[in-house]
Structure 1
Amino acid sequence: MPRLFLAYKLKTIKMRTVSFGMNISLDGYCDHTAFNPSEEVMDYFTEMMDGVDLFFFGRVMYQLMFPYWSDVARDQSGTAAENRFAQKFSAIDRVVVSRSLDSGDEKTRIIRSNPAEELLKLKQQPGKKISVDSVSMLPELISAGLIDEFKLIVHPGIVGKGRLLLEPGSLQEKLDLKLIDTIRFKSGSVALHYLKQ
């Protein structure tokens, strides 16, 4: 779908908000296994989902999160904060973009291609926020004008390897954002909430 047409549709139709959320290190890496969120940060993640009724995942992030968190929700095998997160997280419907994933659970729908077109269709449907958790699709979704807000949790560590939030040259144009909220946690992590300008 041409970018100009997407931009026109986004301006003329009232749509759901698409929120991109990610854990990152001070040096911009997004390896979830490198972080150990405090109970306070886990509770922040849980509260973030109050306004969300759909996740939009790439395959890698989906397989990182499931079945791990659904197992924690079922077995109550985490800390109290992790169990609260797992209950809410695993109850939300999800769409996964993957050419190789054969199947998911009963709350998961798999699409094979055209993530920007699919996300635009989902934005036009009634509902709460859509949470996007995919670094691999981020440049395409930003370029299509589909991400409305960014919620980044910066953790106090330098990782030095892994997947960057955005690879050099992955965006054709600069994206200006407006900072609307900052939360500092006792652990040293900082939550940053930006809106697209």
Structure 2
Amino acid sequence: MRRLTFAMNTSLDGYVAAPGDELGWSVPSDELFQWWSDRVGATHLALYGRRLWENMSSHWPTADQQPGATPAAIEFADRWRDMPKVVFSATSTDVPVDWNARLFTGDAVAEITRLRAEDGGPMDITGATLAGAAMRAGLIDEYVLVTHPVLVGGGIPFFTALDSWVNLNLVETRTFPDGVVLSRYETRR
């Protein structure tokens, strides 16, 4: 069985995007960017919600070809393109296969359950709405919150409303430059 992790940047008040899908508050330091790059390199399958997919796919497929691309950006772009991805959307009609991605338009929870039951390496789920459906279904094994010291006052929350408690064990904390704190929790089963 694969392990499913929900990992995203979040504001101190718990939002993954500020109003208007603004993400400017979450620009990573070089050290944090490398951590995210290493995570992408170790992920065997990424599950994307439509909004985050649109954000990531608008930049990373060609980021390494942009003037002034740093070695870190080139490495991340290569890793991102190579990482297998499933994009969950009821409204999108096309996902370029040359980015190692496929589109899924059916029942997200059923597909995530099927993928999780397969043999294979770790899966990451990204996008708060998609992750919320997996949270409510009890499919997430690990939560990684990369908390930035900013209050954005609203937007898209990291956590969704749940029907019951989810008990967690803290397994790692790490501090990055600019006061960013990583907290990693495993779900108690």
1:131 maps to 2:117: no
RMSD over aligned Cα, in angstroms? Answer: 1.6
CA change 1:76–1:180 in 2 (3 A) is farther
Structure 1 partner of 2:8:
22
- In 2, Cα distance between equivalents of 1:73 and 1:125: 33
- In 2, Cα distance between equivalents of 1:33 and 1:96: 23
- In 2, Cα distance between equivalents of 1:70 and 1:38: 21
- In 1, Cα distance between equivalents of 2:69 and 2:167: 38
Structure 1 partner of 2:20:
none
Once the two structures are TM-superposed, the CA of residue 136 in structure 1 deviates from its matched residue by 0.7
Deviations 1:24-59 (A, max 9, x none): 011111123331111010011012234311110111
Once the two structures are TM-superposed, the CA of residue 74 in structure 1 deviates from its matched residue by 4.1
State the one-letter code of the partner of 1:22: M
- In 2, Cα distance between equivalents of 1:27 and 1:50: 29
- In 2, Cα distance between equivalents of 1:115 and 1:86: 26
Extract unaligned runs of 5+ from structure 2.
Answer: 18-22
- 3-state SS of the aligned residue for 2:106? coil
- Aligned counterpart for 2:96 among listed residues 77, 81, 105: 105
TM-score normalized by the length of structure 2: 0.89
- Aligned counterpart for 1:87 among listed residues 75, 78, 89: 78
State the one-letter code of the partner of 2:101: T
Structure 1 partner of 2:139:
146
User: Size of the alignment, in residue pairs?
Assistant: 181
- In 2, Cα distance between equivalents of 1:180 and 1:40: 20
Deviations 1:60-99 (A, max 9, x none): 0100100311111344753332332222122111111111
TM-score normalized by the length of structure 1: 0.85
Structure 1 partner of 2:173:
182
Further displaced range: 54-63 or 43-52:
43-52
- Aligned counterpart for 1:117 among listed residues 100, 104, 110: 110
Structure 2 partner of 1:11:
none
8 Å Cα contact 2:10-2:148 kept in structure 1: yes
- 3-state SS of the aligned residue for 1:154? strand
**Identity in percent:** 27
- 3-state SS of the aligned residue for 2:153? coil
